[in-house]
Amino acid sequence: MQQYKGKMNDHAEWAVEARGLRKTFGGNTAVDGVDLNVRAGTIYGVLGPNGAGKTTTIRMLATLLRPDAGSARIFGYDVTKESQIVRQLIGVTGQYASVDESLSATENLVIFARLLGLGRAESKHKAAELLEEFGLTEAAKRPLKQFSGGMRRRLDLAASLIAQPPLIFLDEPTTGLDPRTRAQMWETIRRLVKTGSTVLLTTQYLDEADQLADRIAVIDRGHVVAEGTVNELKASVGNSSLHLKVQDAADIPGARHIVEQVLKVRSSVSAEAGVITAPMAEADLVTDLLTALRGGGIRLAEISVQKPTLDEVFLTITGNEGKAAPANNGAAKQAEEAAV
Amino acid sequence: MNRATMERAEGRALKNYTSFGQAVRNSLTMAYRGLQKIKRTPEQLFDVTFQPIIFTLMFTYIFGGAISGNVSNYLPVIIPGILVQTVISTSIVTGVQLREDMEKGVFDRFKSLPIARIAPLAGALLADTVRYAIATVLTLSMGYVMGYNPEGGLGYVALAALLVIVCSWAVSWIFAFFGVIARTAASVQGISMMVLFPLTFLSNAFVPVETMPKWLQWFVNINPISHLVSAVRELANNGTVGSDLLISLIGAAVIVAIFAPLTVRSYMRNT
């Protein structure tokens, strides 16, 4: 084991190192050259719409799918060549419940614990402990068919934690959950990281990534289109976005000029509706903007300030159709380009 | 921050292979899971409960007079035959259920666990021996009720039952293979029936071989099912052990040797 300790130390800093991961299903390239670096002890969010390749990426990292090209290492161990070691270091919670429907919660956990090499008594103890921790003790003996979506997800997560793996994959952990259950799930994930685990999660929700992740990779059509800390990404799209419509279409150029002067960003106009949109760093600026617009004699039809939606983040980041920007370096620059 | 991570990871012995002992332990745990599932959904035992009762009654009273003159003379012929036919057909369900099971998310978890790759398959097959045991006991009991009184005595009958269960387990690897490669549970059922129907009926299970045309006799005599039926008849009716027993066991071993690795390989590739 001497040898592996050395290996661990070299790579301990990185829980995940993926280079050029690629996977094709038939003619459809689901993942097309994804690079990811996840530092141990952090929460890393992979953000993207349905079909962006998030699940496929996770399945490759979790040894469930063999990459067609590229390589990935988990704590320094290759996912294809040393898959059995990798499996000892990870816990996987899929989008769908990866637990047995016809068995009870306790039975499920005991079976997984036994498979992981725990003794009979130890398994029962561990199952009880995890059920307690996830607030499922009362439902322990009921068959899973009677479980709510949130309970199922919690049980699923509990099952991933039996062996206390240092790296946990969570594929859309809160999709389909009600807001309260969602907040509970977030709390659990935060607690996990406090105990030293690394979490890699995928999500479709910007606010979820915002709440949890230290770093985020935005993934679209199999590519990583942006990567950075939450603040870096936010800066690139603005905290909020302004939507503005003027009464007289002739005023559009004038209005854009004022918007750009006050907000110090570039604006864009949607051709069909004549709506001017611009990223806003602070929603407060809207007061200054309104004053300036009145001063310029421009009459407004509509104005709204909204949180940027995931769509806008994507439009901003992926802006130039299909042209994937290199990761990391200046998401802000891309944002500017995109907003032209 | 990541010291805890390190310590946890270092606390375990990391190996990139699974030992034979672990494979056996994992398979037994998976078999336990199979038994728990049967316990939770006893309705899935419908087929192994009713098929032996109905088939035994039906075949005995329909063919008894025509083939052996009367029902009681036919019993030593038909009971071993129907036993083999019923229990072997039960093994189709193994493949069908494996297919259904594999479509569920829980198989993803099994794949992501550091366990022997063969365990989810071997476990499921092992748990299903319970089904074969039930079918065996019911068929023999049904025969007893109808007046079947095997000369071999209880010990040899138990041995014959064990032989049938072992062979059915071996045959279930064939259907497990179909289960792994087929796209739907229904197609597993279809393919398996197509294979098994001729095999069980083109044998000596129901009718004396001498009554068949010569070309058919050739097939019936090489059919492994015939050898198994003969072995069961020898054991139960006469209390003797013959070459048919040996041939049956060798056949079972060959099936497992071919289909177990094949099934595991396809299972791994289908991820």
Quote the pLDDT of residue A100. 85
CB contact under 8 A, A65 and B4: no
Quote the pLDDT of residue A154. 87
Closest Cα in chain A to B103: A98
Quote the pLDDT of residue B104. 82
Question: Which site among B112, B268, B271 would you substitute to test the A interface, given the most A Cβ atoms closer than 10 Å to its Cβ?
Answer: B112
Quote the pLDDT of residue A128. 94
- The 3-class secondary structure across A16-62, one letter per residue, is EEEEEEEEEECCEEEEEEEEEEEECCCEEEEECCCCCCHHHHHHHHC
Interface TM-score (ipTM) > 0.90: no
Quote the pLDDT of residue B229. 94
Q: Record the pTM.
A: 0.78
Give the residue extent of every domain in chain A. 2-102+143-230, 235-339
Quote the pLDDT of residue A169. 94
φ and ψ at A266, to 5 degrees? -90, 150
pLDDT in tens, A88-128: 999 998 877 788 888 899 999 999 999 999 999 999 999 99
pLDDT in tens, B198-215: 989 999 999 889 889 999
Indicate the residue of A84, A98, A117 with minimum beta-carbon distance to B109: A98
Q: Does A197 touch chain B (CB under 8 A)?
A: yes
Q: How far is CA A20 from CA A40, A51, A71, B232, in A?
A: 20, 18, 7, 60
Q: Which chain B residues touch A99 with a CB distance below 8 Å?
A: 105-106, 109
User: What is the extent of the structural domain holding B69?
Assistant: 20-269
pLDDT in tens, A249-258: 888 888 888 8
> In angstroms, rounded to a whole number, what is the distance separating the alpha carbons of residues A220 and A320?
13
> In angstroms, rounded to a whole number, what is the distance separating the alpha carbons of residues B153 and B235?
9
Quote the pLDDT of residue A327. 36
CB contact under 8 A, A41 and B2: yes
Q: Does A12 touch chain B (CB under 8 A)?
A: yes
Q: Does residue A331 surpass a pLDDT of 50?
A: no
Question: Which site among B25, B109, B269 would you substitute to test the A interface, given the most A Cβ atoms closer than 10 Å to its Cβ?
Answer: B109
Q: Quick check: is B4 in a domain?
A: no
Helix (H) or strand (E) holding A246: strand A240-246
> In angstroms, rounded to a whole number, what is the distance separating the alpha carbons of residues A107 and A65?
28
Quote the pLDDT of residue A3. 41
Q: How far is CA B73 from CA B54, B78, B83, B204, in A?
A: 20, 9, 17, 16
Q: Between A and B, how many residue pairs show a Cβ–Cβ distance under 8 A?
A: 121
Angle at CA of residue A333, ends A330 and A338, nearest 5°: 130
- Average pLDDT on A60-87 reads 92
Q: A107-110: which pairs have CB atoms within 8 A and are 24 or more residues apart?
A: A107/B36, A108/A144, A108/A155, A108/A159, A109/A155, A109/A158, A109/A159, A109/A162
**CATH no. of A235-339:** 3.30.70.870
Q: How far is CA A271 from CA A249, A306, A322, in A?
A: 11, 20, 20
pLDDT in tens, A159-199: 999 988 999 999 988 888 888 888 888 988 898 888 889 99
Quote the pLDDT of residue A261. 87
Q: Does residue B9 surpass a pLDDT of 60?
A: no
Question: Which site among A9, A102, A116, A141 would you substitute to test the B interface, given the most B Cβ atoms closer than 10 Å to its Cβ?
Answer: A102
The number of distinct structural domains making up chain B is 1
**Confidence band, pLDDT 50/70/90 cuts, at residue A10:** low
Q: Does A145 touch chain B (CB under 8 A)?
A: no
Q: Quick check: is B211 in a domain?
A: yes
Domain range A2-102+143-230, CATH architecture? 3-Layer(aba) Sandwich (3.40)
pLDDT in tens, A143-157: 888 888 888 888 998
Closest Cα in chain A to B115: A115
Helix (H) or strand (E) holding A216: strand A215-220
Nearest to A331 by CA among A218, A240, A212: A218
B119-127 and B20-40 are packed helices; what angle lies between their axes, rounded to 10 degrees?
A: 50
- Average pLDDT on B54-59 reads 90
- The answer to whether the beta carbons of residues A115 and A194 sit under 8 Å apart is no
Q: Quick check: is B1 in a domain?
A: no
- Average pLDDT on A248-271 reads 83
Quote the pLDDT of residue B4. 42
**Confidence band, pLDDT 50/70/90 cuts, at residue A48:** confident
Q: Does A100 touch chain B (CB under 8 A)?
A: yes
- Average pLDDT on A235-260 reads 83
Q: Does residue B159 surpass a pLDDT of 70?
A: yes
